[in-house]
Amino acid sequence: MRIGVWGGGALGLLWAARLATLYPETVLVTRTREQADAVQYEGIHVIGQDGDVEQIPVQAVESNKVTDSFDVIMLMVKQRDFTTAFHQALSTCTPDGVVVCWQNGVGHDAVAKETHHTQEVYGAVTTEGAWRESMTTVRHTGTGQTWMGPLLGKREDHPSSLRSFIDRVDRRWCPVALEDDIQPRIWRKLIINSVINPLTALLEIENGELLRLPDAVALIREALEEGVAVVRAKGFRLEVDDIFNEVKVVCEKTATNRSSMYQDLMRGQLTEIDWINGGIVKEGRAYGIPTPIHETLIRLIHIKEKRNRR
């Protein structure tokens, strides 16, 4: 089975290294030639949670130079790059292959739905943590669970290639489960990200610091109430107390992590705020549910984006 890992960020590096030990023909597809050449030459250095470093040989290629065909593609790019990457990935995926989308937030499902394809499109949600230290080095910062399921509708007859793939990864690396409907998982993670990401980015603090700021904790609770109201209107069962406790657990487990949104702002890049908090606001308007806190967080992040990109 040929596996393509599309995207050289933290999770892309981590999963490309993992999969290369199971499927030697795994290829990391990067945005730049510089990163592809570096990985091709050095391999990927994975720093474990115990501090040990493992160097794993991995094939790599720039995205516009891909000539291989893949049976399964792990599409791990940012939401802002999704549309282009999705079409590129489809063109290199076998007609009966599977593309697994790992994006934060929502909106990528609409792109997939509007695009003609014969391949199966799945979504993935993970609680694992990783930090990219360089083009070829990734630090595994937190263990967790991963779920995969059909992105465009419920189904129980999952592709045998994906079942086989998940079984091997689950036994060798980390817990991975198949879901018949991934949307509840996507929205649950979106609600969590909608408070941790923008607040840590605006306050310029690590995740664990949020819990030590009473005003931030109060704001988290109020924002969660908005988000949960929207999700419940969509038909997903979610309780504010449960998700609030989950936010606290995530902050504690990733206490020394900088959220992806915080990292984006540090690099002067655009964030995924429009696909995370923006998803809540958009759905809130559709259901007539006010979301003033999320609207304010979006405005503040956009202000900071413009300031940092000057």
Is the confidence at residue 8, as pLDDT, over 70? yes
Q: What SS3 class is residue 59?
A: strand
3-state secondary structure 236-286: CCCCHHHHHHHHHHHHHHCCCCCCHHHHHHHCCCCCCHHHHHHHHHHHHHH
Nearest to 199 by CA among 221, 214, 222, 219: 219
Contact by Cβ (8 Å): 170, 152: no
Is the confidence at residue 75, as pLDDT, over 70? yes
Is the confidence at residue 134, as pLDDT, over 70? yes
Are both 3-180 and 184-308 of the same fold? no
What pLDDT digit, counting tens, does each position of 77-103 carry? 999 999 999 999 999 999 999 999 999
Q: Which amino acid is at 70?
A: F
Sequence-separated (6 or more) residues with CB below 8 Å from residue 108: 79, 82, 86, 101, 151, 275
**Which pLDDT band, with edges at 50, 70 and 90, does 241 fall under?**
very high
Question: Tell me, which fold does domain 184-308 have in CATH?
Answer: N-(1-d-carboxylethyl)-l-norvaline Dehydrogenase; domain 2 (1.10.1040)
Q: Give the global pTM.
A: 0.91
Find the length of the chain.
Answer: 310
- Give the pLDDT of residue 155: 81
Contact by Cβ (8 Å): 10, 47: no
Q: Which amino acid is at 213?
A: L
The alpha carbon of 31 is separated from its chain's Cα centroid by a whole number of angstroms, namely: 17
Q: How far is 193 from 260, CA to CA, in rounded Å?
A: 10
For tokens 């794993």, what's the residue? 56
Looking at residues 237-259, what average pLDDT do you find?
91
- Give the pLDDT of residue 254: 84
Domain ranges within the chain, ordered by starting residue: 3-180, 184-308
CATH number of 3-180: 3.40.50.720
Strand partners, 148: 124, 178
**Which pLDDT band, with edges at 50, 70 and 90, does 310 fall under?**
low
Contact by Cβ (8 Å): 120, 142: no
**Which pLDDT band, with edges at 50, 70 and 90, does 35 fall under?**
very high
Is the confidence at residue 256, as pLDDT, over 90? no
Contact by Cβ (8 Å): 243, 291: no
Q: How far is 247 from 253, CA to CA, in rounded Å?
A: 10
Tokens matching residue 30: 């990067």
What crossing angle do the helices spanning 240-253 and 214-233 adopt, rounded to 10°? 130
